[in-house]
């Protein structure tokens, strides 16, 4: 039986092919090459953007940047894997002109040029803006948890630290007691080199735990992740509580491109709305901006700040659910702006009694609750308290926009959740490889840049992108 046969490995080619012949004119790798080549790497702050006059020549930062962008675009993030791919991957052979840097050079480039890489991500956003891909002026803001590199077993609280210090103190005391016994029988202080090395290691470990304890006190925290203290213990979508970071994105509703992103240690989105909205408008070059977000961003102070800046926010109110029985909801109490009071279903007036500056709440109640005939439908306590946020009106306006247009929530889900799903698929389910806030910001910048580049290719095509870049 006959089969299709390949060429003989030992046969020399009469007319050797060019490496360029293996890469089609519409191949995405040509976009990476064109984009990086048009950047002013020196202005972006890349190290060695200008070659040194003496010493061993370094790799051009543009080549290493191309390597990383290609890697994150193709789910290859490890420096060791990138080194291997640069030796065997025909696309990388073309992109790097057959260069093959070692893994340490690759890793050091990402570590040493984090801020510059993040600027490159913003440069691509500006390119997309110049191509008029952000015409809708409506963005969806959302946050998602990305797991830190640190192991969940490295999360330590005050109790774990105290127990660890106690165990180390006992072991150190045992070693010292053993050395004293050896001195007494004449064996001398240098008779056990391994024991003294172990004692040194125990003391160093104790110093590390003591430093963690001091950091807990200074930062007024209850939990720290050893080896990556900036990572916080957060609940993931599958229910696990692991060290993680909260990644924020603002996504254009029409193109689904990420306009702005950030990484925060805070486990909730409650305090992120204003900062993300302001940076998003800056990325758009100013002007009008409409933002839609979920209930996690329901914060009156943030909503008020956005309103004062001319940013329209739509988000459902995150109100507590009455789970204490068949009691009157807050909506049953009528607010009187003139007198700053509430009127309850029984007709009693609840004046403002106090406020909580920490929670930014005003508190309203009346002494008439004890004799009220409707008390069984209102509260089990001595009296009913009604709360009102310092920025209640801003909260209500933000919530009312969602009530008037429920389709906004459908739009939010379709807009904001798609990029996160793609990025998590490209990053092993949303897990960082590096440690520390600065390094994970660099990682997510590379992921966002890769996502935006892939998305832009799908929108306008490779050839149009290359023409626009050149």
pLDDT in the model for residue 101: 94
Q: How far apart are CA 52 and CA 195, in angstroms?
A: 49
pLDDT tens digit string along 412-423? 999 999 999 999
39, 63 contact by CB (below 8 A): no
- Residue 391: inside a domain: no
Instruction: Indicate whether 221 and 236 sit together in one domain.
Output: no
Instruction: Indicate whether 288 and 189 sit together in one domain.
Output: no
Q: How many helices (H) and strands (E) does the chain have?
A: 14, 13
Q: How far apart are CA 466 and CA 115, in angstroms?
A: 26
Instruction: Indicate whether 288 and 414 sit together in one domain.
Output: yes
Residue 190 has pLDDT above 60, yes or no: no
Q: How far apart are CA 18 and CA 8, in angstroms?
A: 19
Nearest 5°: CA angle at 84, between 80 and 90? 140
Instruction: Indicate whether 145 and 159 sit together in one domain.
Output: no
Q: For 284-354, where are the alpha helices, taking DSSP H only?
A: 300-308
Residue 193 has pLDDT above 70, yes or no: no
pLDDT tens digit string along 155-175? 877 777 777 788 888 888 887
Instruction: Indicate whether 274 and 164 sit together in one domain.
Output: no
Question: What token pair was written down for 292?
Answer: 């839609």
pLDDT tens digit string along 41-67? 999 999 988 888 788 888 999 999 999
- Residue 7: inside a domain: no
429, 237 contact by CB (below 8 A): no
Compute CA distances 106 → 71, 85, 89, 112, whole Å.
Answer: 11, 12, 16, 10
Q: How far apart are CA 160 and CA 205, in angstroms?
A: 14
Rg (CA), the chain: 30
Q: How high is the mean pLDDT of the chain?
A: 88
Instruction: Indicate whether 408 and 281 sit together in one domain.
Output: yes
Mean pLDDT for 399-411 is: 93
pLDDT in the model for residue 202: 84
Q: How far apart are CA 270 and CA 280, in angstroms?
A: 17
Task: Please tell me the least confidently modeled range out of 14-18, 142-146, 448-452.
Answer: 14-18
**Quick one: the chain helix, strand, coil %, rounded to 5?**
50, 15, 35
- Residue 167: inside a domain: yes
- Residue that finishes a domain, picked among 85, 112, 139: 112
pLDDT in the model for residue 199: 83
Question: What token pair was written down for 57?
Answer: 């020549």
- Residue 78: inside a domain: yes
pLDDT in the model for residue 180: 64
- Name residues whose C-beta falls within 8 Å of residue 153's C-beta, 6 or more positions apart in sequence: none
- Residue that finishes a domain, picked among 176, 193, 225: 225
Instruction: Indicate whether 363 and 414 sit together in one domain.
Output: no
Instruction: Indicate whether 359 and 298 sit together in one domain.
Output: no
Given pLDDT bands bounded at 50, 70 and 90, which one contains residue 323?
A: very low
pLDDT tens digit string along 345-375? 989 999 988 887 777 888 999 988 988 988 8
- Residue that finishes a domain, picked among 205, 225, 245: 225
Instruction: Indicate whether 219 and 350 sit together in one domain.
Output: no
Instruction: Indicate whether 241 and 294 sit together in one domain.
Output: yes
| Domain of 162, in residue numbers | 152-225
DSSP assignment string, 237-301:
TTS-EEEEEEEEEEEETTT--EEEEEEES-SSSTT-HHHHHHHHHHHTTSS-EEEE--GGG--HH
- Please choose, from the candidates 77, 78, 99, 95, the residue with its C-alpha nearest in 3D space to the C-alpha of residue 87: 99
181 vs 101: which has the higher pLDDT: 101
Number of domains in the chain: 4
- Name residues whose C-beta falls within 8 Å of residue 386's C-beta, 6 or more positions apart in sequence: 330, 333, 342, 350, 363, 364, 365
Instruction: Indicate whether 212 and 240 sit together in one domain.
Output: no
276, 122 contact by CB (below 8 A): no
416 three-state secondary structure: helix
E-strand ranges in 341-409 read: 341-343, 349-356, 361-364, 386-389
- Residue 406: inside a domain: yes
Mean pLDDT for 454-459 is: 95
Distance of CA 365 to the CA centre of its chain: 42
- Residue 355: inside a domain: yes
- Residue 389: inside a domain: no
Compute how many other C-beta atoms are within 10 angstroms of the C-beta atom of residue 180: 9
pLDDT in the model for residue 139: 96
DSSP state of 348: -
Side-chain half-sphere CA neighbours of 8 within 13 A? 4
Residue 317 has pLDDT above 50, yes or no: yes
Q: How far apart are CA 416 and CA 7, in angstroms?
A: 49
Q: How far apart are CA 412 and CA 404, in angstroms?
A: 15
Q: How far apart are CA 6 and CA 218, in angstroms?
A: 68
Instruction: Indicate whether 434 and 285 sit together in one domain.
Output: yes
291, 311 contact by CB (below 8 A): yes
pLDDT in the model for residue 186: 46
- Residue 85: inside a domain: yes
26 vs 14: which has the higher pLDDT: 26
């Amino acid at each position: 039986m006959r089969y299709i046969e390949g060429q003989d490995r030992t046969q020399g080619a009469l007319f050797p092919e060019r490496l360029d012949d293996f890469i089609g004119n519409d191949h995405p790798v040509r976009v990476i090459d064109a984009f990086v080549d048009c950047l002013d790497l020196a202005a972006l702050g890349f190290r060695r953007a200008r070659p040194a006059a003496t010493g061993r020549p370094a790799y051009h930062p543009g080549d290493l940047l191309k390597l990383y962008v290609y890697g994150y675009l193709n789910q290859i993030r490890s420096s060791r894997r990138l080194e291997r791919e640069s030796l065997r991957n025909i696309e990388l052979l073309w992109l790097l002109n057959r260069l093959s840097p070692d893994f340490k050079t690759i890793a050091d480039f990402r570590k040493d040029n984090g801020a510059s890489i993040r600027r490159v991500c913003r440069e691509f956003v500006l390119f997309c803006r110049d191509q008029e891909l952000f015409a809708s002026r409506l963005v969806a803001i959302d946050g998602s948890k990305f797991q830190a590199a640190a192991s969940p077993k490295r999360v330590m609280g005050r109790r774990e630290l105290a127990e660890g210090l106690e165990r180390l103190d006992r072991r150190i005391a045992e070693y010292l007691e053993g050395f004293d016994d050896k001195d007494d029988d004449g064996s001398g202080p240098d008779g056990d080199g391994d024991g003294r090395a172990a004692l040194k290691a125990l003391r160093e470990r104790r110093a590390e735990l003591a430093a963690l304890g001091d950091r807990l006190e200074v930062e007024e925290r209850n939990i720290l992740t050893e080896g990556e203290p900036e990572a916080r213990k957060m609940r993931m979508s599958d229910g696990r509580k692991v060290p993680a970071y909260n990644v924020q994105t603002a996504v254009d509703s029409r193109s689904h491109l990420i306009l702005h992103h950030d990484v925060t240690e805070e486990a909730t989105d409650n305090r992120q709305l204003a900062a993300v909205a302001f940076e998003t408008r800056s990325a758009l070059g100013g002007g009008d901006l409409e933002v839609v977000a979920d209930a996690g961003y329901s914060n009156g102070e943030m909503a008020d700040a956005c309103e004062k800046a001319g940013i329209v926010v739509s988000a459902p109110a995150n109100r507590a659910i009455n789970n204490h029985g068949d009691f009157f909801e807050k909506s049953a109490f009528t607010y009187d702006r003139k007198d700053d009071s509430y009127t309850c279903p029984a007709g009693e007036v609840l004046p403002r009694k106090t406020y909580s500056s920490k929670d930014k709440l005003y508190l309203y109640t009346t002494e008439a609750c004890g004799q009220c005939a409707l008390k069984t439908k209102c509260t089990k306590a001595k009296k009913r308290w009604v709360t009102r946020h310092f920025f209640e009106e801003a909260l209500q306006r933000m919530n009312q926009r969602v009530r008037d247009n429920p389709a906004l929530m459908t739009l939010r889900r379709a807009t904001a959740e798609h990029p996160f799903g793609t990025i998590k698929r490209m990053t092993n389910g949303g897990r960082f490889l590096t440690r520390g806030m600065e390094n994970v910001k660099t990682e997510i910048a590379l992921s966002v840049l890769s996502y935006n580049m892939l998305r832009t290719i799908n929108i306008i095509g490779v050839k149009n992108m290359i023409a626009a870049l050149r």
